[in-house]
């Protein structure tokens, strides 16, 4: 269903990405040049997140299902610029809020977003942002393989901690449970799986990062038609 919706709205998705990507710019003169690569990769990771995240496995002891959403969120941060990573995850939240079934278990709607587990969803753009800043540091500094792996791994762990903190506080407030109970229900069962996902992100980053680095360092060179502004 999600794939069909995204296929049917491919042009709309591109326009949404372009709009959200530039919505912080209030004047035409202030808008930065945005490359085709930036928009394409942002749209690709938005689509990938929308397709992968709904696939979930319910866990009897937790109201939060097990998904690959954390993996694709961390990966977007590792492979994109901070703005691209944040935007790709933000758009997925916006799509889900207006009814596209891109949340875990193919759920959708604003009511789901503000429900007990909504904090973990709202945290995803910030997770991607944290990892993206770590990856940006690597791209702008000379780092060996070990240092690069350590920085990406540390960024992923910090990002996961941000998700746990925001999501657990939200769950505590909405559900009325104590913070300790919320941790036991929504965090403890996922620590090991999330660390494994982070390890795979480190592996993928080590494999492809050098191939896309030139595009990320020079994203302003290939701009979109007309006066090169969007």
| Ranges of each domain in the chain | 2-28+35-217
- Find out whether 160 and 198 touch, Cβ atoms under 8 Å: yes
Q: Of 62-66, 83-87, 208-212, where does mean pLDDT reach its minimum?
A: 208-212
pTM of the model: 0.82
End-to-end CA distance of the chain: 31
Confidence of residue 2 (pLDDT cuts 50, 70, 90): very low
| Nearest C-alpha neighbor of 206 from the set 125, 120, 148 | 148
Taking residues 111-116, report their average pLDDT.
94
What is the per-residue pLDDT for 226? 41
CATH 1.10.1370.30, domain 2-28+35-217, yes or no: no
When computed from its CA atoms, the radius of gyration of the chain, rounded to whole angstroms, is: 18
Locate 6 and state its tokens. Answer: 């995204």
Taking residues 131-156, report their average pLDDT.
91
Locate 147 and state its tokens. Answer: 């240092």
In this structure, what are the phi and psi dihedrals at residue 189, rounded to the nearest 5 degrees?
-65, -15
Taking residues 129-137, report their average pLDDT.
95
What is the per-residue pLDDT for 17? 62
What is the per-residue pLDDT for 209? 77
- Find out whether 95 and 102 touch, Cβ atoms under 8 Å: yes
User: Mean pLDDT in the chain?
Assistant: 84
Strand partners, 223: 35
142 vs 189, higher pLDDT: 189
The CA dihedral of 71, 77, 79, 84, to the nearest 10 degrees, is 130
From the DSSP assignment, how many helices (H) and strands (E) are in the chain? 11, 2
Confidence of residue 26 (pLDDT cuts 50, 70, 90): very low
Q: Of 12-26, 50-64, 110-124, 184-198, where does mean pLDDT reach its minimum?
A: 12-26
């Amino acid at each position: 269903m999600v794939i069909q919706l995204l296929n049917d709205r491919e042009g709309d998705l591109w326009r949404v990405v372009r709009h959200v990507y530039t919505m912080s710019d209030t004047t035409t003169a202030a808008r930065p040049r945005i490359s085709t690569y930036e928009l394409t990769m942002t749209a690709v990771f938005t689509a990938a997140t929308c397709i992968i995240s709904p696939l979930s496995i319910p866990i009897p002891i937790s109201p939060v299902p097990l998904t690959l959403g954390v993996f694709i969120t961390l990966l977007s941060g590792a492979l994109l610029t901070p703005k691209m990573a944040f935007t790709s995850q933000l758009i997925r939240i916006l799509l889900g809020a207006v009814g596209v079934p891109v949340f875990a278990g193919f759920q959708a709607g604003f009511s789901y977003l503000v429900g007990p587990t909504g904090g973990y969803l709202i945290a995803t753009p910030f997770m991607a942002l944290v990892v993206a800043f770590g990856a940006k540091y690597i791209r702008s500094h000379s780092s060996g393989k070990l240092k690069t792996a350590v920085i990406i791994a540390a960024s992923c762990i910090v990002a996961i901690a941000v998700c746990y903190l925001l999501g657990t506080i939200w769950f505590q407030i909405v559900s009325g449970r104590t913070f300790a109970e919320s941790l036991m229900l929504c965090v403890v069962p996922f620590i090991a799986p999330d660390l494994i996902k982070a390890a795979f992100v480190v592996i993928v980053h080590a494999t492809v990062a050098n191939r896309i680095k030139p595009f990320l360092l020079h994203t302003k060179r290939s701009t979109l038609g007309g006066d090169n502004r969007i």
